[in-house]
Structure formats: structure tokens, C-alpha cells
């Protein structure tokens, strides 16, 4: 009889342990598969486009790749040199062509950087906007056209240049735009180009309004991010009038309208995406330096108007400030999860693509922990939070992600690994910490405690006095694990990612 009681007690213990395990869904780290996506192509500053069943990536150094899905690409052009099939005759006329003002970068090598490609129906051409550069402030944005999205593209015109002095300004088009007798002293400080106030003319990105108007955002560090309205019939900028510039201090008659940044703070690679559902234009930029240890990262602002004002989750614009790290929703920085063999470093310079089904993808270049400056493009699916912010999933897309709807508490409760991206601009790795979302609404974590709840299609978490709102989605991670991902945006501009390994 005593033996039966002991067996019964042991069985009860096993049952209790099983119930406890079931009440805390999620695998232990030892049971998680490990791996990273490997694309095998390098396209820096990737611009993602789609045409006739094929996805294209266009990037710096005249690099380009293509594929029939968002998970596999093959290079078809690479290297800033004559003979690259992406261009025709780019190096034929150095005195009057794309390099007429900039020459070689640091007088050593040709620089063809960060292109964006659109189809212009009025021209009946594919149009590539790209930059040539001499140094950190001396650059030109150029326009080239082609009958085919894959090229070859032929240079047409320089649209705007930066870094000029009184001696070199005549090599740019500034007098063509402002008039032969224009006084350019406002652009100079101590005889040199004032790059704290005015832009470095690289990183062009084109976008349309719902009404069909065309705009271009551009800029890197220096005086910040600027925009033009463009002439759709020619593909050229509509330069502001002198009257516009006099009446609005953010507008310049040559460079257009400043929408973010300045004082040589790190802010570059702008991309603007308009979402019909929210009615917002989303301005995505990169902070930090693009190297592995440079703290490169993606930040987000939004506006109801194409040329701003663009504000973050705090409702603040990025103006000329001494420290810009607190401005802009930090969508992604350095991070690591248990299933990644290598942590991800320095994500940035992104583009956005929305397919015919309304799925939204972000594409950017990614470096890797312990791998130096090697980089590959990455494509992640994004969703829109209840508060109207874009937020991305932690792992590269398989194109089969499933957004959870009509969420119940039981769908979310369990054991997760959480990354808080914070607001730092640094080389620090944000490693995932074990976090429990308990039934009843408590959050238990080494990093912070708080509470959580669900309503409709939304997940909410409060840590301390900061409220985060976001989405839940199921997907396979890069090692093949089935995961449930939570991606939330905080009122403090921070992003939380939580991953449950199922």
C-alpha cells in the first residue's frame, strides 16, 4: 500500500511538471536549431524593385542582383569600372559627364553610390538616380536612363552638387539654377562649403504621392536630409523659387527643403514609403557609421504630407540638435537571438517594397558579428501597429509569414527571448534575454518587469512607465525553427522584439 502511495505521488509530480511545462510554452535554448540566412551576394545600399516577375537589387559600386523570390538573388553586375553591363559609356566623357565635378573619390577611385531606380511613364524609360563623390561633402546626384530595367543605363544630367567653393562652383549647375549673377556666399563658411547647414548630395530615393506627384529625398550626414518635388515629365527637380526660400527657412532655392538632420549628425540613406491604409508617408533613415562596429541602424519618422513635417513616436522632428540619438523610432540595430549562429551588426540604408497583396517588405544591407566588413542584403516583412507605425519581424522573410488576428491571451502567453533595441548609436550587441509573458498579464524578465495584454490584432506591453504596441506573427526563422514573433514600438522610440521558439 505504501509503495502504491509513493508511485501515485511520483505520478502526480510528473503530471504537475507536465502542466507547468505546458503553461510556459517555448523551447529551451539547448533545443533550438542554429543558423543564419546566406544569400551569397553583396549589394550595399540596396534598392529593391520588382518588374515582370523578377525582383531586382541595385546598389553601390554599380552592383546589381536579381531573383524570382525574396530569398534568392544572383549577381548580374558589379564593380565601378568600364565594362560593367549596368551602364553604357559612363566613363567615356569625364569632363562633361557624371564625374565632371567630383572626379575620383579622394583622387583614388571612381565612386558610383546608392542608386534608386524607377520607371517613368512619361519618358517611357527606366530612370536611375545615383551619386558620384569626391569626399564626405563633395558629391553630385546624377540621372541616367535605360529601355530595360537591367540596363545599360546612359548618363543624362547632373541634378545637384555639394561641396563647392567660389573657385569650383562654376563646375556645378548652381548658376544655371539660381542665375549667372547669383551670390553663393550663403553656402560658404570661411571660404569652404558649409556642410553643417547644407547637404552632401548622395543617397537619392524617389517616391510618389497618391495623386501621382513625384518627389526625391536625398542627403547624408552634413546638413541633413533634403527633398525636391520632381517634374514627372522630365524626371528633373523642380527647384524652389527665391520667394519660397525667403518665406520658409527650411527651404533653399538650390538644394530644396530640409526635412531632417543637420550639424553633420549621422543621418543618411533616406527612403520614403507611402501607405494608403494609414495615410502616412514614412521616412526611414540610417544613423551611425556603416562599418561593422559603427552602430549603423534604421530609424523611422512619419508625416501626413510628402515633404513633412516628419515626426517620431514622441511627436518630435529631427532638427539641428547636438545629440540626435533620442529622435526617431529605432527599428533595428545590432541584435542576436539564440537561433542565430552569428549576431547581426549594422543594418541600414534601406528601401521598401509593397507587393500586389499589400505585403510590405524592408530591404537593407547587413553585416555580421565577427565577419569584418562582409555584408549581404536582407529582406524582412513589416507590419503596421495599431498606432500606425511600421515595425519589422526579426528574421529574414520566407514569404510565408502569418499575422495573428483576433488574438487571445493563450496565443501569446509563454517563454520568449526579448531584444530591446534601445536608442544607442554604438557597437554594443543587443542580445536576447529570457522573458516570460505569464497568463494573467505579468511580464517577468531580467531586463524589466511589467504587464502585457491583447486586444483584437494588437499586443501591448508596458515596461516601467513605457507603453509598447505591436503585432504578433508566426514564421520560420533562418535556422528552420517555427517561431512566434512579437514586434512592438514604444512611445519612447524604442522597439521590442520577442521570439518564442515553438
Q: Which are the catalytic amino acids? A: 45, 268
Interatomic CA distance for residues 10 and 21, integer angstroms: 16
What single string gives the DSSP state of each residue in 218-247?
E-BSTT-EEEEEEETTTTEEEPPPHHHHHH
What single string gives the DSSP state of each residue in 89-136?
STTT-TTTSTTTTT-SBTTTB--EEEEEEEEETTTTEEEEEEEEESSS
Q: At 410, is the secondary structure helix, strand, or coil?
A: helix
Secondary structure string (H, E, C) spanning 11-60: HHHHHHHHHHHHHCCCCCHHHCCCCCCCCCCCCCCCEEEEECCEEEEEEC
CA dist 321 → 242, 260, 317, 324, 345 (Å): 27, 10, 10, 6, 26
Angle at 424 between CA 339 and CA 434, to 5 degrees: 35
Interatomic CA distance for residues 18 and 32, integer angstroms: 20
Interatomic CA distance for residues 139 and 199, integer angstroms: 9
CA dist 261 → 175, 250, 322, 447 (Å): 26, 11, 10, 32
Q: At 2, is the secondary structure helix, strand, or coil?
A: helix
As a dihedral over the C-alpha atoms of residue 381, residue 385, residue 388, residue 390, rounded to 10 degrees, the angle is: -30
Q: Which of 151, 154, 168, 148 is nearest to 93 (CA)?
A: 154
DSSP assigned state of 193: E
CA 1 from chain centre, in angstroms, equals 69
Identify the H or E element spanning 199. Answer: none
Amino acid at each position: 500500500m505504501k509503495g502504491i502511495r509513493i508511485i501515485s505521488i511520483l505520478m502526480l509530480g510528473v503530471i504537475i511538471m507536465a502542466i507547468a511545462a505546458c503553461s510556459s510554452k517555448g523551447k529551451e535554448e539547448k533545443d533550438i536549431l542554429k543558423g543564419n540566412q546566406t544569400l551569397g551576394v553583396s549589394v550595399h545600399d540596396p534598392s529593391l524593385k520588382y518588374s515582370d516577375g523578377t525582383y531586382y537589387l541595385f546598389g553601390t559600386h554599380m552592383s546589381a542582383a536579381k531573383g524570382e523570390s525574396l530569398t534568392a538573388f544572383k549577381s548580374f553586375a558589379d564593380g565601378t569600372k568600364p565594362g560593367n553591363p549596368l551602364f553604357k559609356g559612363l566613363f567615356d566623357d569625364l569632363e562633361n559627364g557624371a564625374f565632371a565635378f567630383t572626379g575620383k573619390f579622394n583622387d583614388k577611385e571612381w565612386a558610383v553610390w546608392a542608386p534608386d531606380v524607377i520607371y517613368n511613364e512619361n519618358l517611357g524609360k527606366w530612370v536611375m538616380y545615383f551619386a558620384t563623390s569626391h569626399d564626405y561633402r563633395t558629391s553630385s546626384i546624377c540621372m541616367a536612363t535605360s529601355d530595360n530595367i537591367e540596363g545599360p543605363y546612359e548618363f543624362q544630367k547632373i541634378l545637384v552638387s555639394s561641396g563647392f567653393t567660389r573657385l569650383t562652383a562654376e563646375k556645378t549647375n548652381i548658376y544655371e539654377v539660381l542665375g549667372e549673377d547669383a551670390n553663393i556666399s550663403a553656402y560658404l563658411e570661411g571660404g569652404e562649403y558649409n556642410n553643417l547647414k547644407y547637404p552632401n548630395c548622395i543617397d537619392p530615393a524617389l517616391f510618389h504621392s497618391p495623386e501621382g506627384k513625384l518627389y526625391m529625398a536625398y542627403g547624408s550626414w552634413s546638413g541633413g536630409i533634403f527633398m525636391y518635388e520632381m517634374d514627372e515629365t522630365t524626371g528633373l527637380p523642380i527647384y524652389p523659387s527665391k520667394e519660397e526660400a525667403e518665406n520658409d527657412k527650411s527651404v533653399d532655392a538650390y538644394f530644396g527643403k530640409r526635412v531632417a538632420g543637420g550639424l553633420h549628425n549621422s543621418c543618411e540613406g533616406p527612403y520614403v514609403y507611402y501607405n494608403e491604409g494609414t495615410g502616412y508617408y514614412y521616412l526611414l533613415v540610417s544613423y551611425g557609421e556603416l562599418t561593422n562596429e559603427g552602430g549603423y541602424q534604421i530609424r523611422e519618422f512619419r508625416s501626413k504630407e510628402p515633404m513633412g513635417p516628419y515626426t517620431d513616436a514622441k511627436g518630435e522632428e529631427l532638427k539641428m540638435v547636438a545629440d540626435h540619438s533620442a529622435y526617431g523610432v529605432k527599428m533595428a540595430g545590432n541584435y542576436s537571438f539564440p537561433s542565430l549562429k552569428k549576431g547581426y551588426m549594422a543594418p541600414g540604408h534601406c528601401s521598401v517594397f509593397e507587393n500586389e497583396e499589400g505585403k510590405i517588405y524592408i530591404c537593407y544591407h547587413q553585416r555580421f558579428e565577427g565577419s569584418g566588413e562582409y555584408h549581404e542584403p536582407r529582406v524582412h516583412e513589416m507590419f503596421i501597429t495599431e498606432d500606425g507605425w511600421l515595425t519589422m519581424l526579426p528574421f529574414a522573410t520566407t514569404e510565408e509569414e502569418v499575422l495573428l488576428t483576433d488574438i487571445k491571451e493563450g496565443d501569446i502567453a509563454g517563454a520568449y527571448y526579448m531584444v530591446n533595441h534601445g536608442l544607442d548609436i554604438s557597437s554594443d550587441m543587443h542580445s536576447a534575454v529570457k522573458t516570460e509573458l505569464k497568463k494573467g498579464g505579468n511580464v517577468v524578465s531580467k531586463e524589466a518587469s511589467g504587464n502585457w495584454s491583447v486586444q483584437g490584432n494588437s499586443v501591448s506591453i508596458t515596461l516601467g512607465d513605457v507603453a509598447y504596441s505591436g503585432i504578433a506573427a508566426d514564421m520560420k526563422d533562418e535556422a528552420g525553427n517555427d517561431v512566434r514573433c512579437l514586434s512592438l514600438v514604444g512611445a519612447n522610440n524604442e522597439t521590442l522584439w520577442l521570439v518564442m521558439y515553438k
